[in-house]
Amino acid sequence: MGYNVAIDGPAGAGKSTIAKLVAKKKGYIYVDTGAMYRGLAIHFLDQGIHAQETDKVIKACQNAQVTIRYEEGVQQVYLNGKNITSRLREEEVGNMASVTSAIPEVRAKLLELQQNLAHTQDVIMDGRDIGTCVLPNADVKVFLTASVETRAKRRYQELQEKGIACDLEEIKSDIQERDHRDMTREIAPLKQAEDAYLVDSSDMTIDEVVDAIVELCK
């Protein structure tokens, strides 16, 4: 049985950044759900299936196994035992993943793959419903949040550094809307698991957040 860490929280809380750093420190596998969706997309493409052929996509899920490994510290994604990492960023793969990820049966397949991985490996996952739905029995659950103002400022700085014109108030409004949408959606809404530790990173550095979560792990 693997050791499992679940990090949930709203958009812009820095979940992925923190999860990857904790994984590196602890030697866990960071479960990149986006990469797993793309792995399934490659499977559909290799079967000659078009994104709109929902019935064929659902059927193809039955014989797809997507796993993540780390080799020499680098994430590698395998589809039915074959390394497909070099294909993950292809445009047609991204387009296929974008369409098929909305199919409930594809999401159910990904859930099964994630739980299988967590059963056999030490993993850390981040998202909106990891501690409540994906890994309800995780050894450590963290609800990572920050104030809307803090998250908006982080996003604003990030976009400015990339040379992208943006408006702080508009970003703030977008974050508030997304929070509301995530918390009120019908399937797997964003909420803090009853047994999750609350970590508010508003006044913390990245290193302080990482150290706080590492401290919670065995």
pLDDT of residue 72: 86
CA distance 128 to 138: 14
pTM comes to: 0.83
Write the DSSP string, 144-162.
Answer: EE--HHHHHHHHHHHHHHT
pLDDT of residue 127: 87
CA distance 189 to 129: 7
pLDDT of residue 96: 94
pLDDT of residue 84: 98
CA distances from 29 to 58, 139, 184, 214 (A): 28, 15, 30, 14
- Mean pLDDT for each consecutive 10-residue tract of the chain (218 residues)? 93 90 94 90 97 96 94 92 95 92 92 93 91 94 96 92 93 92 84 95 95 95
Which residue has 């590492």 as its token pair? Answer: 214
